[in-house]
Amino acid sequence: MKRTLLFLIGLTFSAFAFAQQVDQGRDLSKYADDKFSEDDKYTVAEPYATVSVKQPKSKKIKNVIFLIGDGMGLEQVSVAWTLNGGHLNLDNFPVAGLSRTYCTDELVTDSCAGGTALSSGVKTKYGYIGQDADGNPCFTLLHRAQQKGMKTGVAVTCRINDATPADFICASPDRHLEAEVAAKLADSGVDFISGGGRQFWDEREDGRNLIEEMKAKGYTFVDNDADLRNASGERLLGLYGPLDLDPVLDRGSILEDSAMKAIEMLDNKKGFFLMIEGSQIDDWCHRNKVGYMAEEFFDFDKTIGKVLEWAEKDGHTLVIVTADHATGGLTLIDGSLEDRSVSVHFSTKGHNGIMVPVFAYGPHAEEFVGVYENSELSDKIRRLMK
Ligand SMILES: [Zn+2]
């Protein structure tokens, strides 16, 4: 009896700890809860237009654009596809694969370990950013690009020092060491950095003002979408809010604008590596709100459309879209393509362990067909970058 009671207390504590973990460090006041009346149903009045592109003939890869939908499993793709009346920019990809996301110590991974496998080809421990299970820093695809003299960039809608962007740039044993990670990003030499989290750059306990340091190094600094669109130069730091950016209905097209400005600034003779993240698909699945999730997905898919149009013109750009893991245990249980409506069920407020899709476009896209580990996906890209 006593043992059962202790077990129950333990269970309650771990459930509490888990709930805490899910929203670790996020500013929840940003997330208005009242825009859509129901959390598990959504209807889209007007679908958006999608692009149509052809696979290029070239076999030469000059640029790599790696797009990550945080928390974007196949169900999220199917829900968004239904809500947009049976069309997504993702439909253009000629090749699809499936990636297994588990990490070294958990079957169901997080963005830290999931992103590290994608950035570095190394499966690691839950919570580890850019370092292997023994704590050694990883050599990422972005580092490889820098070594080859390519330009590099990251553009996200969360704080820029959050797990996924940080996984590509630096190493940390703990995602809560945010000021430390921001300093590492500032010292990384990455040419284009765009996202949230300004408070870790200019309100620091160590007295450093990383924004001023970046300006002194020749970076253009912007803090809003209009200035981002008008920015010129070769290097840019964009920080659009103290923490994560507002939901897409409030922040507008900043992800798409960041992606296109990054391409404009990074495109050069030696090529570039650009990571773009639809960061908040995950956040809304954690909160089990399908309408907000769908709008974040549309924002990500519209960005993919713009990237594909540019890649088609360029002809030498490999475009990969995948996820670090799925979130929410989302299930599409009913809906209508005609009415652009869905009815869904969420089975968890955490992540879930299903395989996630990989979409490939451009030279050597065919090498991404099949079922493989998330770490192997990164290895494939690295081999193609040579
Ligand atoms: Zn998450």
The pLDDT value recorded for residue 14 is: 46
- Distance, CA 358 to ligand 1 centroid (Å)? 19
How far apart are the C-alpha atoms of 292 and 276, rounded to whole Å?
20
Q: What is the pLDDT of residues 268-295, one digit of tens each?
A: 999 999 999 999 999 999 999 999 999 9
What is the CA(128)–ligand 1 centre distance, in A?
Answer: 14
Q: Tell me what the mean pLDDT of segment 50-59 comes to.
A: 97
Q: Which two tokens stand for residue 269?
A: 């003779």
- Ligand 1 geometric centre to CA of 77 (Å): 17
Q: How many angstroms does the Cα of residue 326 sit away from the middle of ligand 1?
A: 8
| Structure-block tokens of residue 252 | 């507008």
Q: What is the pLDDT of residue 26?
A: 52
For residue 297, what pLDDT band results from cuts at 50, 70 and 90?
A: very high
* CA-angle at 112, arms to 102 and 74, nearest 5°: 50
User: What's the pLDDT at 306?
Assistant: 98
Q: What mean pLDDT comes out for the span 211-220?
A: 98
pLDDT single digits (tens) 347-374: 999 999 999 999 999 999 999 999 999 9
- Tens of pLDDT, residues 153-188: 999 999 999 999 999 999 999 988 999 999 999 999
Residue 1: pLDDT band with limits 50, 70, 90: very low
Confidence band for 44, pLDDT divided at 50, 70 and 90: very high
> pLDDT confidence of 386, banded at 50, 70, 90?
confident
- Catalytic option among 14, 29, 78, 111: 111
Q: What is the pLDDT of residue 2?
A: 47
For 28-57, the DSSP string reads GGGS-S-SSS-SSEEE-SSPPP--------
Which domains, ranges and CATH numbers included, belong to the chain?
65-385 (3.40.720.10)
In the chain, what percentage of residues exceed pLDDT 70?
A: 90
Q: Tell me how far apart the alpha carbons of residues 195 and 157 are, in angstroms, rounded to a whole number.
A: 5
Per-residue pLDDT at 22 exceeds 50 = no
Residue 21: what pLDDT?
40
CA-based radius of gyration for the chain = 20
* 50 closest CA partner among 82, 96, 90: 90
Residue 111 appears among annotated catalytic residues = yes
> How confident is the model at residue 320, as a pLDDT?
98
Please count the CA atoms within 13 angstroms of the CA of 64 that sit on its side-chain side: 24
Question: Looking at residue 218, what is its pLDDT?
Answer: 97
- Counting every residue written for the chain, the total comes to 386
219-243: pLDDT as tens digits = 999 999 999 999 999 999 999 999 9
* Average pLDDT for 194-207: 96
pTM score, whole prediction: 0.92
Segment 207-213 mean pLDDT:
97
Q: How far is the CA of 240 from the centre of ligand 1 (A)?
A: 21
Residue 38 pLDDT: 79
Average pLDDT value over all residues in the chain? 92
Cα torsion through 199, 326, 249, 119, rounded to 10 = 50
Q: What is the pLDDT of residues 246-264, one digit of tens each?
A: 999 899 999 999 999 999 9
Kindly provide the residue ranges of all beta strands, DSSP E only, lying in the chain, ordered along the sequence.
41-43, 63-69, 95-100, 151-159, 192-196, 220-222, 236-239, 272-278, 317-322, 326-327, 331-336, 341-345, 351-352, 356-361, 370-373
Biggest CA pair distance of the chain: 72
**pLDDT at residue 19, as a whole number:** 40
- pLDDT for position 12: 47
